[in-house]
A and B are shown apart, each in its own frame.
Chain A
Amino acid sequence: MSLLTFAKIELHNLFSKPATRPYPEQPREYPPRTRGHIENDVDACVFCGLCSKKCPTGAIQVNRGEKSWSIQRFSCIQCGCCVESCPKKCLSMHQSYTEPAQRKTIDTVCQTPVENQNAS
């Protein structure tokens, strides 16, 4: 009798849609609150350094003199403390996750041209 109970579930699964998604043809849609990665709208940033002070992992460095803002994405734990503390609200949390990489990189944005440094 119990075998038949489970057979019902199995038959249902056999004739229903698969539970998984055909990735990468169909990319994932993230819910609006997903904590993916941090982006800085650097034009609005005043380089006050509050985000760097609040960050529990020390992932953010702010250089006021050079007007640059850097983040070590592989140290960031996506807690969102920096987003909450930013007085200019120029930091935001984007839904997609940090891109995979072979080496730990530091992403730097400046109010002058954008550059990407690599550090091991």
Chain B
Amino acid sequence: MSKRSIVPFGPQHPVLPEPIHLDLALEDEKVVEAIPSIGFVHRGLEKLVEKKDFNEYVYVAERICGICSFMHGMGYCESVENIMEVEIPPRAKYLRTIWCEMSRIHSHLLWLGLLADAFGFESLFMETWRMREKVLDMFEYSTGGRVIFSVNKIGGQRKDMDNDMIREFLSVFADMERDLKELVKTFLNNSAVNSRLRDVGFLTKQQAFDLGAVGPFMRSSGISRDTRKLGYAAYPFLDFEPITSDVGDCYARTDVRIREIFQSIDLIRQAAAKIPNGEVSVPVKGFPQGEYFMRVEQPRGEAIYYVKANGTKFLDRVRVRTPTFANLPGMLETMKGCQLADVPILILTIDPCISCTER
């Protein structure tokens, strides 16, 4: 009979800069169960609706997460705009789409770098992050910020990207695409990398469905669902299909995310070709009254915003359900039966963001 033991994992662990704690029940080296505990960095941002009025709350929403800060701000703004029945100008919709996809590219590159770091391939990590740096530079060039952009407002965008700037970005993306093709060969074909990723942490299509997984984690188990298809920002005018894989292991998740980077570059190209000229915001008068439920596809998966307004400048409630929270049950399922040494990689493959899970 094998020996059973409990190994605590986290809340501080070299593979994760953020705190999540797992109690791993082991039989020898094999994980039989993982019990999570979260709540180490709860910041009470949802409570701030009582102090910040609905316009100021955009800045709070942006600060839910440093990686998808643009999409958090946008999701909140679109929810309030829908309550107030404000139609934003078409150029603002396209700008939102371009910035969203830039966020996705930088988030996926960041994740690829962390993955390379987790299996000890330091130069691959540096190379990936160097590429991500270019996206951050473009963000700084267009919005003035590298992490928090402050360009969303209720009624549109606060800054415009002129057409020359967009053309310049496109040429940077073309270079990046070429370099990335070289780089991903190592992620997908290198035998050392493959030995850590292939046949590890399976999640079947049925399990992904039953456990409510979202985003690339779900799509790499064969479910073709993408909330961008629901048609917020300018996505209804762009042509794309969700990227999926039927395998459902760590390698499939890496593969799906890599293909999503190329898809995002393509979406930016499409948006740049179609972006109309004109205003980027409309004036918004009055206070919101009513409620709205909105789904946004963030790099890590589907985020949900629920906003309830009462006709005054302070909102009744803002609720955010972030993708990592939805992916935790799936992650625990993939751990059953894996080796202890694979646990860090398995946690990484859901691309966890604990600060947005706890808000």
Query: A residues engaging B (CB < 8 A)?
Result: 1-3, 5-6, 8-10, 13, 19, 31, 33-35, 56, 77-80, 84, 93
The reply to whether A31 and B148 contact each other, CB–CB distance below 8 Å, is no
The reply to whether B56 and A56 contact each other, CB–CB distance below 8 Å, is yes
The reply to whether A78 and B186 contact each other, CB–CB distance below 8 Å, is no
A–B Cβ pairs within 8 angstroms, 24 of them: A2-B185, A5-B185, A5-B186, A5-B189, A6-B123, A6-B190, A8-B182, A9-B183, A10-B123, A13-B127, A31-B141, A33-B140, A33-B141, A33-B142, A33-B143, A33-B159, A34-B144, A34-B145, A35-B150, A56-B59, A77-B148, A78-B145, A79-B59, A80-B144
Query: In whole angstroms, how far apart are the Cα atoms of A33 and B130 in the complex?
Result: 22
Give chain B's interface residue range (CB within 8 Å of chain A). Answer: 20 to 34
Closest to A84 in B: B158
Q: In this assembly, does B30 line the interface, its C-beta being within 8 Å of a C-beta of chain A?
A: no
Knowing A35-B150, A78-B150, the reply to whether A2 touches B191 (Cβ < 8 A) is yes
B interface SS class: helix
Known: A35-B144, A84-B158. 6 other contacts (CB 8 A): A6-B186, A8-B182, A9-B127, A19-B133, A33-B142, A56-B52
Instruction: Tell me which residues across on chain A come within 8 A of B158, comparing CB atoms.
Output: 80, 84
Q: In this assembly, does B124 line the interface, its C-beta being within 8 Å of a C-beta of chain A?
A: yes
Knowing A2-B186, A31-B140, A56-B59, the reply to whether A19 touches B130 (Cβ < 8 A) is yes
The contact string, 1 if C-beta is below 8 Å from chain A, for chain B 134-174, is 00010011111100101000000011000000000000000
Closest to B187 in A: A2
